[in-house]
Amino acid sequence: MIGSIKVGHAGNREAMTGCTVFLPPPGAVGACEVRGGAPATRETELLRPIRTVTNVNAVLLTGGSAFGLGAANGVVRFLEEKGIGFPTPAGPVPIVSAAGIYDLDVGEAGVRPDEEMAYRACLEASVDEGREGSVGVGLGATVGNAAGRPLSTRGGFGFYRFQSGPFRLEVAAVVNSFGDVVDERGEILAGIRGPSGGYVGAEKFICTAGGLEGCRENTTLVVVATNARLDCEQGTRVALQGHNGLARAIRPSHTRFDGDTVFVLSTCEVEVGQDAVEVLTAMGAAEAVRSGVMKAETGGDIPCARDILEK
């Protein structure tokens, strides 16, 4: 990703679960905004502007729901071995923020990302990592879950990249949503499937259903990485714009059954107008979500968007 920010994936393809780690350089500023009604998170409160800690050492996106948050201990161990963390009298304490998606009913419920898997993701992390779709945390992702997982479409992990001169901004997203993913015209790319195999429309389904019997465990997670100089307060505003991007691409988004969370990592190298960073983030979050579903692969008896749209 941006400059020296490393990205690493690890997972279990048979069990259809995994995790993805982001390792910024020392001194990177972190921010976060949680807007979904059902988040599974760790150390996101530290990234608010009023807190003492302004630098984050890693962000982990993981499958396994709340069980998967324990995988962050593997990232902590990796960083501790390298002497990276918030300085204390007893030595550095790694600051690792994490958020999880629910994928327990897609593959093997008893197999979740753990400390060893996350540690492996750290070992594999590279500035050149650019895989998308069914990789890392995206292995068990699905979208259009308002009618239940069996009628959903495969979600995935996606990227958006922007560069102008020295300024760079990249957005990564894993989409595992209650609602559909739509393109810029509002046409459904991935979502609830009807009896014929085509899409029925999540918003229409929700408004006409007598009662929601679908999957109530969903989340879209985003990491915005930039070399623009941001403090924690500015980064929080950028995170808010990331949520606006989710609302463009996911309908409905931020429901009481989604744990939508946006992280921001800034390496603080280039002076850039705040408004430009915010606008690009909203655009980028939407495009990263769309890319994630379009790069996903069929798995777990759930078809991917490409297979459906090509029929």
The string of DSSP codes covering 119-179 is HHHHHH-BTT----BSSGGGGG-EE-GGG-GGG-EE-EEEEEEEEETTEEEEEEEEEE-SS
- Domain limits, the chain: 6-309
The per-residue b/e assignment along 194-225, b for 16 or more CB within 10 angstroms, e otherwise, is eeeeebbbbeebbeeeeeeebbbbbbbbbbbb
HSE, side-chain direction, 13 A CA sphere, residue 216: 6
pLDDT digit string (tens) for the chain, length 311 residues: 667 899 999 999 999 999 999 999 999 999 999 998 889 999 999 999 888 888 999 999 999 999 999 999 999 999 999 999 999 999 999 999 999 999 999 989 999 999 999 999 999 999 999 999 999 999 999 999 998 889 999 999 999 999 999 999 999 999 999 999 999 999 999 999 998 888 999 999 988 876 566 677 899 999 999 999 999 999 999 999 999 999 999 999 999 999 999 999 999 999 999 999 999 999 999 999 999 999 999 998 999 999 998 76
> In the CATH hierarchy, which top-level class contains the domain 6-309?
alpha beta
